[in-house]
């Protein structure tokens, strides 16, 4: 463990880990949470000795406890007393965060399917996830047009990470056409330093 209070395992391409990485920066906790990059789906992954799930984000606390799952990590960051309240308590803001996680989980399944050789891809899964993304994209367009996702919290971070993922690593979903409010929202989100310094590498998929 580095000399900080907690250590966040991440991979540069992971939108889930990016939510937590942006949260650390936006909450002003970067001097207390160090970052360690790990490979994924790799028996030699640096995160494996700390978490048998081998997924990111994983937050290793000073006593060796490892927290996995983005929402639990955000909850812990809140307990570290940063400048920002990340996990909302109001139902509408919680629902907004959950809506984006629903989109991101679907995109992750869709993207995993696309990583298979073409002959092994399930057309049913691809169609289901494309439909889900379109539905959620339309709902988010309405939400944002009505003033949603204005506060910098878990929902905001998840939306920025998800749309950012689609821009650079999941171009299979063209979320922008017909969604001007979401496009304008993303344009302001991507100007933030925390978004810029956590930019994932682009992927041809
Ligand atoms: N439900 C988890 C999802 C995390 C997740 O799936 N992370 C991916 C990277 S985007 C991962 O670590 N994948 C590696 C694997 O599946 O082995 C969360 O909310 O944090």
For residue range 91-111, list pLDDT tens digits in order: 999 999 999 999 999 999 999
pLDDT at 45 over 50: yes
Nearest residue by C-alpha to atom 10 in ligand 1: 14
Q: How many CA atoms lie within 13 A of 19 on its CB side?
A: 29
pLDDT at 4 over 80: no
* Closest atom, ligand 1, to C-alpha of 55: 12
**Gap from CA of 45 to ligand 1 centroid (Å):** 14
* Confidence label for 161 from pLDDT (cuts 50, 70 and 90): very high
Mean pLDDT of the chain: 96
The average pLDDT across 148-152 equals 98
Q: Evaluate whether 54 touches 47 at the Cβ level (below 8 Å).
A: yes
For residue range 111-144, list pLDDT tens digits in order: 999 999 999 999 999 999 999 999 999 999 999 9
The average pLDDT across 38-53 equals 98
Domains of the chain as residue ranges with CATH: 6-79 (3.40.30.10), 91-192 (1.20.1050.10)
* Confidence label for 2 from pLDDT (cuts 50, 70 and 90): very low
pLDDT of residue 72: 98
- Ligand 1 neighbours (beta carbon < 6 A): 14-16, 40-41, 54-57, 69-70, 108
For residue range 56-95, list pLDDT tens digits in order: 999 999 999 999 999 999 999 999 999 999 999 999 999 9
Q: Which two tokens stand for residue 67?
A: 């927290």
**Gap from CA of 121 to ligand 1 centroid (Å):** 20
pLDDT of residue 204: 57
């Amino acid at each position: 463990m580095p000399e900080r209070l907690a250590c966040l395992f991440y991979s540069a391409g992971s939108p889930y880990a990016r939510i937590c990485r942006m949260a650390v920066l936006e909450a002003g906790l970067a001097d207390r949470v160090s970052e360690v990059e790990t490979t994924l789906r790799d028996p030699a992954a640096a995160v494996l000795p700390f978490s048998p799930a081998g997924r990111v984000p994983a937050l290793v606390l000073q006593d060796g406890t490892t927290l996995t799952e983005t929402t639990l990590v955000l909850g812990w960051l809140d307990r570290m007393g940063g400048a920002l309240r990340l996990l909302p308590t109001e139902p509408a803001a919680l629902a907004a965060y959950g809506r984006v996680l629903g989109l991101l989980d679907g995109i992750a399944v869709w993207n995993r399917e696309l990583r298979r050789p073409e002959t092994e891809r399930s057309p049913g899964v691809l169609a289901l996830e494309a439909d889900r993304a379109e539905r959620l994209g339309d709902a988010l367009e309405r939400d944002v047009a009505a003033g949603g996702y204005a506060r910098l919290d878990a929902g905001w971070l998840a939306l920025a990470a998800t749309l950012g993922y689609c821009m650079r690593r999941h171009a299979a979903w063209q979320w922008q056409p017909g969604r001007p409010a979401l496009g304008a929202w993303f344009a302001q989100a991507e100007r933030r330093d925390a978004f810029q310094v956590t930019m994932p590498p682009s992927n041809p998929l």
